[in-house]
Structure 1
Amino acid sequence: MRWHSPILVAAIGGALIACAPAEAPPDERTPPPAADAADPTPPDTATAAPQIIHYDCEGTPVDATFDGGDRATVQVDGMTLAMQTEPAASGAKYVDGDGNVLWTRGATDALLMRPDQPDRSCSGSPAAPV
């Protein structure tokens, strides 16, 4: 009776393998998914065209030009701030050497932080293409 057990196990295993569905090869005709129009961060490739977002930061107008890489130019209160990205838990955080921060969240929301001023929540809209 002992010799039947290994044969029975092998037969059941072979039957299960034979019944398993085969994986279909990938369909190369399927296009890749389209890019999400509501991308949560500004463009991140060096070849991307600059993107301009007009923000309203609790009554303060702010224009941010994202270079498509790791830099942004921010115009606020008559000043132009040259910023670059810094690691952030979420969104894209742009900082300069003077303690100014523009922390984007989603496609059009941000937080503006400036030394000796209260933080301001910002909502924005992309500038019309030129």
Structure 2
Amino acid sequence: MRAAPAFTALFAALVLGACGNSPPATPEPVATANDTAAPPPAPPAERTEPEDAPMTGSLAAREAASEPSSTLNFDCEGVRITVAYENDDALAKFVVDGETLALDREDAPSGAMYADGAGNRFWAHRPDEARLTLDGDHERNCYRVY
């Protein structure tokens, strides 16, 4: 009858295990000041692209990057001009039919008017609108092109 005490001990162990009397969980280790921290991540490698890398993006973005901020494009009833303002807007330059016109600023009722002695006049009277007169010819309405 020696089997009875061994059977009783096994049965008691099974019952206690089924009742949820398991030993308490061991706590997670707590970091102390003496523990070493993980090394910081390595810095990203420097980009070694050539300085003259091809431009990407929209045409307008490429043109904006290549032109000074004082340059505006206009369509004046079929005559396309790019006006470049210089000397704190005291001078407006643009090319018409292969000829560069340099117009000095004059007094205007509104906006900015530029003219020369040959009868050429450019009057930017609104942010996106202007008027162009070439050699005293008829006045053309101009609209800014973006």
Normalised TM-score (structure 1): 0.54
2:92 alignment counterpart: 72
Distance 1:97 1:83 in 2: 9
Unmatched runs of 5 consecutive residues or more in structure 2: 1-67
Distance 1:66 1:56 in 2: 17
2:131 alignment counterpart: 111
CA radius of gyration, larger in? 2
1:60 alignment counterpart: 79
SS of residue paired to 1:120: strand
Distance 2:108 2:137 in 1: 21
Normalised TM-score (structure 2): 0.49
> Is the Cα contact below 8 Å between 1:53 and 1:108 reproduced in 2?
no
- Runs of 4+ residues deviating >4 angstroms: none
Q: Which has the higher helix share?
A: 2
SS of residue paired to 1:98: coil
Identity across the alignment (%)? 33
Aligned-residue offset at 1:62: 1.1
> Is the Cα contact below 8 Å between 1:103 and 1:111 reproduced in 2?
yes
Superposition RMSD on alpha carbons, in Å?
A: 1.6
Give a deviation string over 1:92-124, Cα, whole Å, max 9, x none: 000112110000012221100122522100001
> Is the Cα contact below 8 Å between 1:84 and 1:94 reproduced in 2?
yes
With a CA cutoff of 8 Å and minimum separation of 6, indicate the structure with the bigger relative contact order: 1
Aligned residues: 78
